[in-house]
């Protein structure tokens, strides 16, 4: 009898141990396969929210890509020490906006929440990717289940796939990459924004329309009411807004209707379209495309919001408070991106050396390769002089070779006539640099990761590697 009892106990222990083991493994695999993107390139504002320390956020901007492209918390931090966060996901629908605010309120107690009313323009996602970004990014909880239920109450589709998630995410085994196995550091650094300096072309100007406001649908009114009720219930100030968008008369009539709604509820409403001239928004320089401002446009929009917040709310300036170090990191990243953007326009070798030797340049590595030295006469004296500023002797330049310039220090990697064959160094946890000399202009002479950056038909080749973002930033050839 005792033997049977012991056997039963042993079997139960085995069973429980197996379930625990299986759960751990399945959870680990889930973490690899799970959806990790709300703005592209493995950047997730939801992850950034989860990585933000508790009870630090004072201001939240909720919306779609218009928000993460147009409002930079780093600028608010730099200007006034405001701890802001962009709770923005590509194509954010109204259901997601509401539940993502609820998710944020689980750990944060913001004083003001600005909601971009883009959700009023559509009830469903046309892009499968945006549907996944919005419905699969939150941790599984009652709130995430409520979001799926609310979305599919008004839209067709198999919501069980979004509850279980595996039916959607398991096919990601075909596209796994480095950030599925290692955290993207931007998800720890950023506070929701997506910084971009590129400028679109041929963008039509934002026109002003003065038609009668449209009538808001019942769903839209219900959504706005739910936001208002939530603000009353949770005690934050709700502000409605619309970031600049080249939407035409239909969009403007909806925005005007939202403005009327806001007035009826005594909610502030900021229509950046109506303020395009006041903010001097230039379609030629401040926009990525018709619907998204770039970093220059974002500086204007965020600058206005900075003034608006300072005028209407008395929020504490948190600069210098170590608990808010994540906003310092955020600002550092902004500066890094700005530096990187400027660096691409630096072509003179002297200026390049100056830039890379600066404080901001310390995040970059430069792999300098000189080849075709038999005809080095083609390389101007000026170029050789400027190259020697990096620290190499003139004679070394004429002999050719590969160097690594980092933090004002030059290291010789390989002579062109070296018998070493190949030299490899690990740049970081992801990328390795391998240099060799298989002949002037040969492929494979400089390889980072799986990409070839060899000189080919140039004398001096400088590959600039961003060791802050772990990626090759640019290549300069002379």
Pull the structure tokens for residue 159: 């919501």
Residue 288 Cβ vs other proteins, minimum distance, rounded to whole Å = 31
Query: Which stretch, 161-169, 301-309, 313-321, 425-433, contacts other proteins (CB under 8 A)?
Result: 161-169
Count Cα atoms within 13 angstroms, Cβ side, for 321.
12
* φ, ψ at 415 (rounded to 5°): -85, 150
Question: How far apart (Å, rounded) are the C-alpha atoms in residues 248 and 250?
Answer: 6
Q: What is the DSSP letter of 38?
A: S
* 164 vs 211 by CB, closer to other proteins: 164
Question: How far apart (Å, rounded) are the C-alpha atoms in residues 130 and 38?
Answer: 8
Single out the residue of 13, 21, 316, 424 in contact with other proteins (rule: CB under 8 A).
21
* 33 vs 71 by CB, closer to other proteins: 33
Single out the residue of 9, 13, 16, 18 in contact with other proteins (rule: CB under 8 A).
18
Q: Answer for the pair 237, 313: CB distance below 8 angstroms, yes or no.
A: yes
* Site size for other proteins (CB under 8 A): 22
Using CB under 8 A as the binding rule, whether residue 9 contacts other proteins is answered as: no
How is the beta sheet containing 364-370 ordered, strand by strand? 409-415, 401-406, 364-370, 460-466, 471-477
Residue 124 Cβ vs other proteins, minimum distance, rounded to whole Å = 16
Using CB under 8 A as the binding rule, whether residue 22 contacts other proteins is answered as: yes
Using CB under 8 A as the binding rule, whether residue 173 contacts other proteins is answered as: yes
Using CB under 8 A as the binding rule, whether residue 411 contacts other proteins is answered as: no
**What is the per-residue binding string for other proteins in 112-151, x denoting contact by CB under 8 A?**
----------------------------------------
3-state helix, strand, coil in the chain (%, to 5): 45, 15, 35
Using CB under 8 A as the binding rule, whether residue 31 contacts other proteins is answered as: no
The beta strands (E) that lie in 84-183 are given as 84-88, 112-116
Single out the residue of 9, 20, 25, 207 in contact with other proteins (rule: CB under 8 A).
25
Single out the residue of 2, 5, 142, 174 in contact with other proteins (rule: CB under 8 A).
174
Question: How far apart (Å, rounded) are the C-alpha atoms in residues 364 and 394?
Answer: 24
Single out the residue of 6, 127, 171, 438 in contact with other proteins (rule: CB under 8 A).
171
Sign of the alpha-carbon torsion through 160, 218, 252, 300: negative
**Which residues of the shown chain bind other proteins in the complex (CB under 8 A)?**
7-8, 11, 14, 18, 21-22, 25-26, 29, 33, 158, 160-161, 164, 166-168, 170-171, 173-174
């Amino acid at each position: 009898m005792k033997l049977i009892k012991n056997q039963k106990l042993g079997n139960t222990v085995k069973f429980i141990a197996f379930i625990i083991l299986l759960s751990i493994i399945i959870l680990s695999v889930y973490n690899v396969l799970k959806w990790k993107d709300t703005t592209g390139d493995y950047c997730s504002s939801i992850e950034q929210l989860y990585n933000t320390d508790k009870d630090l956020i004072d201001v939240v901007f909720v919306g779609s890509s218009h928000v993460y492209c147009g409002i930079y918390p780093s600028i608010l931090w730099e200007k006034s020490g405001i701890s802001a966060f962009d709770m923005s996901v590509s194509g954010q629908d109204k259901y997601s906006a509401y539940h993502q605010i609820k998710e944020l309120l689980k750990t944060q107690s913001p004083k003001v929440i600005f909601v971009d009313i883009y959700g009023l323009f559509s009830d469903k996602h046309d892009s499968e990717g945006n549907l996944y970004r919005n419905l699969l990014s939150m941790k599984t909880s009652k709130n995430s289940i409520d979001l799926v239920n609310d979305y599919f109450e008004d839209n067709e589709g198999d919501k069980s796939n979004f509850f279980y998630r595996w039916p959607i995410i398991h096919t990601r085994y075909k596209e796994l990459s480095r950030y599925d196995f290692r955290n993207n550091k931007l998800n720890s650094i950023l506070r929701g924004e997506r910084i971009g300096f590129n400028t679109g072309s041929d963008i039509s100007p934002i026109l002003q329309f003065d038609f009668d406001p449209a009538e808001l649908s019942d769903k839209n009114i219900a959504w706005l009411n739910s936001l208002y009720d939530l603000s009353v219930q949770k005690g934050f100030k709700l502000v409605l807004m619309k970031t600049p968008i080249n939407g035409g008369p239909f969009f403007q009539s909806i925005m005007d209707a939202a403005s009327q709604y806001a007035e009826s509820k005594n909610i502030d409403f900021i229509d950046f379209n109506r303020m395009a001239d006041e903010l001097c928004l230039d379609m030629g320089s401040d926009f990525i495309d018709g619907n998204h401002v770039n970093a220059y446009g974002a500086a204007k929009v965020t600058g206005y919001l900075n003034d608006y917040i300072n005028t209407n709310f008395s929020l504490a300036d948190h600069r210098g408070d170590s608990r808010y170090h994540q906003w310092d990191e955020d600002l550092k990243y902004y500066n890094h991106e700005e530096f990187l953007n400027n660096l691409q326009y630096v072509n003179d070798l002297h200026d390049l050396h100056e830039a890379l030797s600066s404080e901001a340049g310390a995040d970059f590595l430069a792999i300098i390769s000189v080849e075709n030295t038999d005809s080095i006469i083609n390389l101007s004296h000026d170029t050789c002089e400027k190259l020697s500023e990096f620290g190499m002797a003139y004679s070394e330049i004429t002999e050719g070779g590969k160097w690594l310039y980092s933090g004002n220090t030059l290291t010789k990697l390989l002579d062109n006539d070296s018998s070493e064959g190949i030299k490899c160094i690990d740049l970081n946890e992801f990328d390795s640099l391998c240099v060799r000399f298989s002949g002037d202009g040969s492929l494979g002479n400089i390889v980072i990761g799986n990409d070839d950056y060899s000189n080919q038909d140039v004398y001096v080749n400088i590959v600039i590697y961003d060791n802050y973002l772990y990626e090759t930033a640019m290549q300069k050839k002379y």
